[in-house]
Structure 1
Amino acid sequence: MIDSHCHFDFAPFCDDPEHYLALSHQAGVGKIIIPAVGQRNWQAIRDLSARFPNLYFGLGLHPFFSAEHDVNALIQLESELAMEAEQREKKQSHCVAVGECGLDFAIVNADRDQQISLLAAQLQLANRFELPVILHCRKAFPELLRVLRQNMPVAGGVYHGFSGSHQQAVQLIDLGIKIGVGGTITYRRANKTRHTIAALPLGALLLETDAPDMPVAGFQGEPNRPDRLVKVLGELAAIRTESKQEIKQATSLTTAELFRIPI
């Protein structure tokens, strides 16, 4: 399996990455993709992926931390992505996406115009460097859809932590965006999301944990971990018609193809 969204540079993982990678491998999670939050962790995730060959990363400006993104942030992001592109030609880069980026209007006093501007610019950078995007969205779906349609991601992307309606999922899929399936579906009360995920094409789905956030049912109050991706897989198999093995193979292949990583 591939965990398509895990903040592996955060605590507790950063304190003992070998231990948590061993747990992940024992659970059948072979690769992890780490999204950035901003300039402050670009180097940390690059260093982690250099130490551990099964880690990959995205570079981007997370909307939740938009107050930290100064006027030079986009210039620096462009420079970092250009450097990674040169390394990629030499097969020496583990940068596989632009992100985490998106819109978060749930923040108190959110600067919506700034967020929209940053997202549009990052989508354009993703297109320039032919990278998929890792999307975050809270309380801003219509605006996100509009920006996506104005800046169509040529290499696709994933809407992580999806918990919306079937109509919203189809609108994203029509734009070439995959649906990130995480711990939400492990809660029986999340009927809308469970029904939506059960009805979508299997080829549109990726597995994720968002660890250490978005805990799976039964582990509330604890940091989530990438090895608990197996819980997400199990619940996905319980609400769909395909077997666990079919889902594991399909989601792994889809993730590997989207981010162009070896399976």
Structure 2
Amino acid sequence: MLIDAHCHLDFEAFDEDREAMFARARGAGVGHFMVPGTTRQRWPSVLALGKREDVHVSLGLHPYFMHEHGEDDVEALARMLDQCPEVRALGECGIDARFEETLDAQWALFSAQLRLAKSRQLPVVIHCVHANDKVSKRLRELDLPAGGLIHAFSGSPDQAWKFLDLGFVVGLGGAVTYQRAQRLWRAVKSLPEDGFVLETDSPDMPLCGYQGQRNEPVRIVQVCEMVAKLRGETPEAIAAQSTATAQRIFGLDLS
């Protein structure tokens, strides 16, 4: 059984065929889904999905949507975390250095969310683009007790291990299927068996051969096969490792 450890199944891209999407995933052996919140406006949709037995959720404020966040959103997030015990992590939050004009505001928002996670001993789901070294430095300074997930990791072996040493795991998705991802391939080969989870980031982060198409959880099977090939293991072994790690990081009891 596979867990898609990061997928935005609340997004409008799935409004027309959400149940069919779930059915395709189940048919391929994908049995559980971690759905992160990205903006305050989307938290209700995420929580509604979380009522399903096969969906678990996190809530956060994503750096890509800085223009949608309000001044009191961090306080609102704190209230939601206190009111919703079903929330498994804080996130998706983080830093996207492609957007230099909002970078100072991103760091302020990220730090505020990390402090929230620390105070509530929650794992953190982190979006980190062109900022691996700076983010790992910030995480080391804060010493978060519950670790978390570095979503959509695409860095070097050294950067991966810096995160692992801090109690985090890295998320492996569509990026591993591209021939150009040589540095990421080296990182994948270097990871311990409990250092990664598989994810799709659906509807985004398409696999090689699916560029321009909507991504969905059923394709995590191909991510699993590619990771297995890189590590010289069977897909069954990789699936079992990823599932066990997702359960550990997010405190999931799937028995």
**TM-score when scaled to structure 1?**
0.93
* C-alpha distance in structure 2 between counterparts of 1:15 and 1:249, whole Å: 32
Cα-Cα RMSD: 1.2
* C-alpha distance in structure 1 between counterparts of 2:33 and 2:144, whole Å: 22
Match of 1:181 in 2: 172
Which residue among 100, 114, 117 is the counterpart of 2:105? 114
Is 2:126 the partner of 1:135? Answer: yes
* C-alpha distance in structure 2 between counterparts of 1:65 and 1:108, whole Å: 13
* C-alpha distance in structure 1 between counterparts of 2:189 and 2:174, whole Å: 14
Match of 1:83 in 2: 83
| Identity fraction in percent | 37
**Residue 40 of structure 2 aligns to which amino acid in structure 1?**
Q
* C-alpha distance in structure 2 between counterparts of 1:172 and 1:108, whole Å: 24
Between the two proteins, the alignment pairs up a number of residues equal to: 253
Match of 2:53 in 1: 53
Q: Deviations over 1:236-255 (max 9, x none)?
A: 11111222111111110110
Which residue among 151, 154, 170 is the counterpart of 2:145? 154
Give the stretch that moved more between structures: 141-150 or 117-126. Answer: 141-150
* C-alpha distance in structure 2 between counterparts of 1:159 and 1:252, whole Å: 16
**Residue 23 of structure 1 aligns to which amino acid in structure 2?**
R
User: Contact 2:3/2:33 (CA < 8 Å) preserved in 1?
Assistant: yes
User: Contact 1:116/1:147 (CA < 8 Å) preserved in 2?
Assistant: no
Secondary structure at 1:237 match in 2 = helix
Match of 2:155 in 1: 164
User: Contact 2:93/2:110 (CA < 8 Å) preserved in 1?
Assistant: yes
* C-alpha distance in structure 2 between counterparts of 1:241 and 1:123, whole Å: 36
Task: Measure how far apart 1:108 and its partner are.
Answer: 4.9
Secondary structure at 2:207 match in 1 = coil
**Residue 96 of structure 1 aligns to which amino acid in structure 2?**
R
Give the stretch that moved more between structures: 119-128 or 140-149. Answer: 140-149
Map 1:229-240; keep pairs closer than 5 Å. Answer: 229-240=220-231
Secondary structure at 2:194 match in 1 = helix
Q: Deviations over 1:166-194 (max 9, x none)?
A: 11001110101101000111112211111
Map 1:199-238; keep pairs closer than 5 Å. Answer: 199-238=190-229
* 5+ long unaligned stretches in structure 1: none
* C-alpha distance in structure 2 between counterparts of 1:152 and 1:64, whole Å: 25
**TM-score when scaled to structure 2?**
0.96
* C-alpha distance in structure 2 between counterparts of 1:138 and 1:219, whole Å: 22
* 5+ long unaligned stretches in structure 2: none
